[in-house]
Amino acid sequence: MKLIGAPKLVVWAEKIRKDRLRVWEETSPEIFKAIEPIVARQSRADWWIANKDKGLDAVCKQLLGGKLR
């Protein structure tokens, strides 16, 4: 999915997204597989930048409205 935002932010966010997806998949493959469709819908560059240092558990809680099962 193409990211939206200011051009410089999009370039930066694309790098962050690629890195985060790789890290999340490597560290928690089962959880990542379940959450990947939701994460893949995040198209705002600023979202990726704001969440660049967060682990998959924190991102899951955020995306699921605090309801991590």
Q: Would you state the pLDDT for residue 51?
A: 94
Q: Per-residue pLDDT tens for 9-63?
A: 999 999 999 999 999 999 989 988 988 998 988 999 999 999 999 998 888 888 8
pTM for the model stands at: 0.84
64-67 own/partner pairs: CB under 8 Å, 24+ apart: 64/38
Residue-level length of the chain? 69
